[in-house]
Amino acid sequence: MDFQLQKPRITPINDHVWLLNDAYNCACYVVAGADKAMVIDTMIGFVDVRRAAEALTGKPLICVNTHGHSDHIGGNWAFDTALMHPADLPLVDEFLDDPEVQAVLGENKLSFPGFRPVADSEIFDLGGLELQAFHFPGHTAGEIVLLDRADRILFTGDGIIGHLWMQLPESLPLSAQIDSLRRIRPLRGEYDVILHGHCTEPETAGLYDAMLDAILDLQAGNTVNDEDYPWHDRVSRAHPYGDCWKIVYNP
């Protein structure tokens, strides 16, 4: 694997929130308060996210991962500490145990940070701007979403996303995703925009409503429109809904 640093594509969401994309359409967000800035996810690993976020904000940074998948934690090497829900630590171990990853990190003198656990309902005060984390198990056991009430944005990683992957070995049953969606239903009036882990532009909050309807429909066995969904060397099923969205699952 060649390791070559890339410049991110940067899209301002407002005057203190930015979307960064790498060449693989993985997303990272930088949210600046008066005192500190939060980096939410770090993409696949070829962008120096710390440098990019410092250039945008000039503030001390907190790096928070929405979950433990490699296309979200890949750029954590730029930080001394990163936060994540502890239920996803086994995914980090799996990633770092990969000999190819070890070789790239070793050759480039990069190392991964220590991880501090994110607690459910934890509030991060960035100075005049707070983000609150909510545990959201489903896509993975340690997925979190983060609510920025002042900006009316919900950051959702891969937990609320157009293509929801629930077919992975580490994904929980569909019922867990339903429980997570229901648990955050009281927040529904507090955001207008969803920024997920593979956005190239903001998604509307209506994705939440459409996903909840669709996954309840799927759980009820209404699968007549479902289709095969090949990925890597396997074939799962996809439940289409809404605006070209899908829930991918194993029957």
Q: Looking at beta carbons only, is 69 or 246 nearer to Zn ion?
A: 69
- Single out the residue of 79, 94, 80, 89 nearest to residue 42, CA to CA: 79
Q: How far is the CB of 202 from Zn ion (least distance, A)?
A: 19
Q: Give min distance, CB of 198 to Zn ion, in A.
A: 9
Residue numbers at the binding site for Zn ion (CB under 5 A): 69, 158
CA-angle at 72, arms to 57 and 118, nearest 5°: 75
Give whichever of 37 and 238 is closer to Zn ion, judged by the CB atom: 238
Task: Kindly state the smallest distance separating residue 158's Cβ from Zn ion, in Å.
Answer: 4
Query: Closest CB to Zn ion among 8 and 74?
Result: 74
Q: Are strands 27-32 and 227-231 parallel, antiparallel or unpaired?
A: unpaired
> Given the complex with Zn ion, which of 57 and 65 has the nearer CB atom?
65
Bridge partners for 115 per DSSP:
82
- Regarding beta strands 245-249 and 163-165, do their DSSP bridges make them parallel or antiparallel, or are they unpaired? parallel
Tokens describing residue 121: 């309902």
Beta bridge partners of 82: 115
Cβ at position 127, least distance to Zn ion in Å: 30
